[in-house]
């Protein structure tokens, strides 16, 4: 789950990590009031969306007067911001964050994340801040500094010093960095973060170290113990169908093709998409209905799939396992009837009572096509989708 910049900065402030003064606004009038309350002479109006690259996309604007703050807020609020990370439709700007501008001497990069191969939390830092850090890592990997945290030892002083020297910080700035690192690590664990990123972390003209930006991702598996953070979820920033799927304990990802799939198990769901592609089709989604594949889940899954107008055919691929295939077939038949599926459906079932399951599907009069095996299923669905496409 992603947080907005303003939410992340509030958490930073709570943990004692220095951030510029800022206020949230959802109307131009509020933005003006925010600027007046903050005082100063220059403000930054920042679009709050769950995507990086806001600056280049025109989502971060400088204002030299309070009325200019209002104009920027007016121009941004209620629009979609398209960045290189947002997808072509962009993300809605429902909130702006008004900040007192900081005088920047240097721009650094700092992040914490779980490194899966090290199986540890790792700190990454770079003197090349304010840039696309993935490009820095690819082009000049020597500019990326890392420190791996052992769970028992945490951050050692020598690691903080090495980062401080590596970033070319003065002695007092190094002390500030070490303080920030300690607090970031506390925040990372307390919030069950999967990523905390500050890009840029700045050195101000007065020589102090400040988090000018803030990005926090919370690990989904840990949300059960992060109630306060769960309340910060902004579903307007998320794919509507993916939200709906989550509400039904389904895992769904939209894709660009026209063949929908519904599969039990994430690995098999990916493999089914690959198989469709291998046989010349294009998958419309990833959808894992989970191990049970109950009638209730399957019905919810059909509804989510059919909300996508591109869908020309649906492939259901269930490896029954412990759940009997005849029960799954009954679930599919009930769901197809209830939802009123108008596009062709191919079902591939495998597992206990498979013959009975296939017979039920064949007898259902709902035009559900049973496939004999994986390959047969893929060939049938690709042919049906291209017929439908031609007819339309």
Partner 1 sequence: MSILVGSESKVICQGLTGRQGSFHTEQCLDYGTQVVAGVTPGRGGAEHLGLPVYDTVRDAVRETQATVSMIYVPAPYAADAILEAAAAGVELVVCITEGVPVLDMVRVKAVLAGQNCRLIGPNCPGIITPGTCKIGIMPGFIHTPGSVGIISRSGTLTYEAVWQTTNAGLGQTTCIGIGGDQLRGMNFIDCLALFEADPDTRGIILVGEIGGSDEEQAAEFITSDVTKPVVAYIAGVTAPAGKRMGHAGAIISAGKGTADDKFEALERAGVTTVRSPAELGSAMAKALE
Residues within the interface to partner 1 (CB under 8 A): 85, 114, 116-117, 119-121, 134, 137, 150-152, 189, 192, 194, 219-222, 224-225, 251, 253, 255, 263-271, 273-278, 283, 286, 288, 291, 319-322, 350-352, 373-375
CB 282, min distance to partner 1, A? 8
Please tell me whether residue 337 adopts helix, strand or coil conformation: helix
Closer to partner 1 by Cβ: residue 163 or 318: 318
Closer to partner 1 by Cβ: residue 39 or 373: 373
Q: What is the DSSP letter of 302?
A: H
Please tell me whether residue 235 adopts helix, strand or coil conformation: helix
CB 243, min distance to partner 1, A? 14
What residues are paired with 314 via a beta bridge?
260, 345
Burial pattern 151-180, b for ≥16 Cβ within 10 A else e, equals: eeeebeeebbeebbebbebeeebbebbbeb
Closer to partner 1 by Cβ: residue 85 or 156: 85
Q: What is the sign, positive or negative, of the torsion defined by CA atoms of 175, 178, 180, 182?
A: negative
109 is catalytic: yes
- Name the catalytic one among 6, 97, 109, 252: 109
CB 221, min distance to partner 1, A? 5
- Name the catalytic one among 30, 99, 176, 197: 197
Closer to partner 1 by Cβ: residue 153 or 391: 153
CB 79, min distance to partner 1, A? 23
What residues are paired with 371 via a beta bridge?
348
CB 267, min distance to partner 1, A? 2
Residue 349, token pair as written in the block: 């079932």
Closer to partner 1 by Cβ: residue 82 or 98: 82
Contact 56, 83 (CB under 8 A): yes
Question: What's the rounded Cα separation, in Å, for the pair 109 and 168?
Answer: 13
158 is catalytic: no
CA distances from 217 to 87, 111, 117, 188, 234 (A): 18, 11, 19, 10, 13
Q: Write the CB contacts of 245 (distance below 8 Å, at least 6 apart in sequence).
A: 251, 252, 287, 300, 301, 304
Residues carrying an active site annotation: 109, 197
């Amino acid at each position: 789950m992603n947080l907005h910049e303003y939410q992340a900065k509030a958490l930073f402030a709570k943990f004692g990590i220095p951030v510029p003064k800022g206020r949230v606004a959802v109307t131009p009038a509020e933005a003006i009031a925010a600027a007046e309350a903050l005082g100063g002479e220059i403000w930054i109006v920042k679009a709050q969306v769950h995507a990086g690259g806001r600056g280049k996309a025109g989502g971060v604007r400088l204002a030299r007067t309070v009325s200019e703050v209002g104009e920027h807020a007016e121009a941004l609020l209620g629009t979609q911001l398209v960045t290189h990370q947002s997808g072509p439709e962009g993300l809605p700007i429902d909130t702006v964050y008004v900040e007192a501008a900081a005088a920047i001497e240097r721009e650094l990069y700092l992040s914490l994340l779980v490194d899966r191969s090290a199986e540890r939390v790792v700190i990454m830092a770079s003197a090349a801040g304010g840039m696309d850090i993935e490009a820095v890592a690819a082009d000049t990997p020597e500019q990326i500094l890392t420190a791996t945290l052992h769970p028992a030892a945490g951050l050692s002083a020598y690691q903080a010093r090495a980062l401080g020297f590596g970033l070319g910080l003065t002695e007092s700035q190094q002390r500030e960095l070490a303080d920030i690192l300690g607090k970031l690590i506390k925040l990372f664990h307390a919030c069950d973060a999967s990523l905390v990123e500050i890009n840029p972390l700045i050195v101000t003209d007065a020589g102090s170290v400040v988090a000018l930006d803030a990005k926090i991702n919370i690990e989904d598996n840990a949300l059960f113990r992060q109630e306060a953070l769960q309340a910060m979820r902004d579903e307007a920033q998320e794919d509507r169908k993916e939200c709906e799927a989550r509400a039904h304990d389904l895992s769904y990802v939209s894709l660009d093709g026209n063949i929908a799939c519904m599969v039990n198990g994430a690995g098999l769901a990916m493999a089914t998409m690959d198989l469709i592609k291998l046989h010349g089709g294009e998958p419309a989604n990833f959808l894992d209905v989970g191990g049970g594949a109950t009638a209730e889940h399957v019905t919810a899954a059909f509804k989510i799939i059919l909300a996508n107008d591109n869908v020309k055919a649906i492939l259901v691929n269930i490896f029954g396992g412990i759940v009997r295939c005849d029960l799954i077939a009954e679930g599919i038949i009930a769901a197809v009837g209830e939802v009123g599926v108008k596009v062709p459906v191919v079902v591939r079932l495998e597992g206990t009572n498979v013959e009975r399951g296939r017979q039920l599907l064949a007898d259902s009069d709902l035009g559900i096509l049973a496939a004999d095996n994986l390959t047969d299923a893929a060939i049938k669905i690709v042919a049906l989708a291209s017929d439908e496409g031609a007819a339309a």
